[in-house]
């Protein structure tokens, strides 16, 4: 049987990004998904639940999702993981300038480790599977941990992420949903990057019935 993580979340300003602390119940090692800012709050939460942050995972390279990357890396000594296609937002000075202007926030240092589709990261006795789901950005990924899917800005409850920023494409996003997401087990819990829906979380089964991007574009084209 797959080990299931213990999941905690924080809503971080200025864009109310959901930052998730994903903890292995056996070793108490933790991953922070999308450390959006306020590193002291993230670390206080980890301390409160007795977890030790050993990795920092970015669902994508938008600046609002990565503001605490540098501080957490420095304090915890944990490496930052991001898909190569979004790391250029930070490693390529020209792209960096464009993206910083679009979002009105400074970027982050380049990642320590680059992710690719299908990668499996070990977190204690948990396995974190990387699903490359380009569309919202070229390097957007979802992280699958047991029966949970952390979707960043690819899939929201009843919605999908905007595709009008640098590198975005609604066609690619829909292809990603069709190829990687909608056929996951229906009970898979969806943990989105923002709380834009009727409820903070959903399931793949519910999104297949209620999300208009899935029902109208993918299941009934």
**CB of 153: closest distance to Zn ion in angstroms?**
4
**CB of 76: closest distance to Zn ion in angstroms?**
23
Of 84 and 127, nearer to Zn ion (C-beta) is 84
Contacts of 86 (CB under 8 A, 6+ apart): 58, 60, 61, 137, 138, 139, 140, 167
**Residue 83 · residue 116 · CB < 8 Å:** yes
User: How many residues sit in the footprint of Zn ion (CB under 5 A)?
Assistant: 3
Q: Which of residues 101-140 bind Zn ion (CB under 5 A)?
A: none
Query: Of all helices (H) and strands (E), which one includes residue 94?
Result: helix 93-103
- In the complex, residue closest to Zn ion by CB: 62
From the candidates 34, 60, 86, 132, give the one annotated as an active-site residue: 60
Of 62 and 73, nearer to Zn ion (C-beta) is 62
Is residue 83 part of the annotated active site? The answer reads: no
Q: Which of residues 193-212 bind Zn ion (CB under 5 A)?
A: 193
Using CB under 5 A as the binding rule, whether residue 62 contacts Zn ion is answered as yes
């Amino acid at each position: 049987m797959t080990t299931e993580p213990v999941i905690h979340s924080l809503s971080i300003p200025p864009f109310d990004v959901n930052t998730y602390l994903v903890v292995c119940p056996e070793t108490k090692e933790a991953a922070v998904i999308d450390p959006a800012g306020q590193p002291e709050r993230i670390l206080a939460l980890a301390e409160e639940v007795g977890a030790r942050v050993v990795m920092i995972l970015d669902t994508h390279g938008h600046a609002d999702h990565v503001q605490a990357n540098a501080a957490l890396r420095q304090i915890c000594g944990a490496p930052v993981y991001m898909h190569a296609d979004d790391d250029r937002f930070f490693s390529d000075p020209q792209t960096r300038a464009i993206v910083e202007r679009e979002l009105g926030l400074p970027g982050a240092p380049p990642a320590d480790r680059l992710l690719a589709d299908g990668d499996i990261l070990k977190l204690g006795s948990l396995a974190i599977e990387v699903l490359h789901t380009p569309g919202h950005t070229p390097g957007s990924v979802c992280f699958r941990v047991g029966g949970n899917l952390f979707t960043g800005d690819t899939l929201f409850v009843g919605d999908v992420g905007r595709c009008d920023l640098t590198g975005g494409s609604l066609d690619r996003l829909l292809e990603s949903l069709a190829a990687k997401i909608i056929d996951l087990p229906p009970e898979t819990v969806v943990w989105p990057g923002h709380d834009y829906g009727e409820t903070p979380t959903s399931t793949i089964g519910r999104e297949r019935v209620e999300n208009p991007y899935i029902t109208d574009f993918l299941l009934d084209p």
